[in-house]
Structure 1
Amino acid sequence: MQPIIDTSLWLARKRRALAHPEGGADFLMRRAADDLADRLGAVERSFGKAAALF
């Protein structure tokens, strides 16, 4: 099975983006975080364990 993501290309683009930061370029991440916070705000269940998936 071939990889879905070209990791060397991804790393090159990530390095380029970090070398030349653009103001407001994180708009999509901020929007996703805001939406997630809104959705999770309605959850009343308590969870004993959590996992961070990145």
Structure 2
Amino acid sequence: MKNEATYLAWKVPWQYISFAWIGSILIGVISTYSPLKRISSMTIIDAIRTVE
């Protein structure tokens, strides 16, 4: 029975986990870059008006 279960050995796929983590961080940074750039070029009053 023990020899039959050896094919069930499983390793944590750290490489794919790290790719997914880095990819999600990059997507988050890229998606917030454009709105942040637009808001930083406005004055404070204009930024508040566009939010309301």
- Above 0.5 in TM-score? no
Structure with greater proportional helix content = 2
Normalising by the residue count of structure 2, what TM-score does the alignment of the two structures yield?
A: 0.38
Higher relative contact order (CA 8 A, sep 6+): 2
TM-score normalized with structure 1 length: 0.37
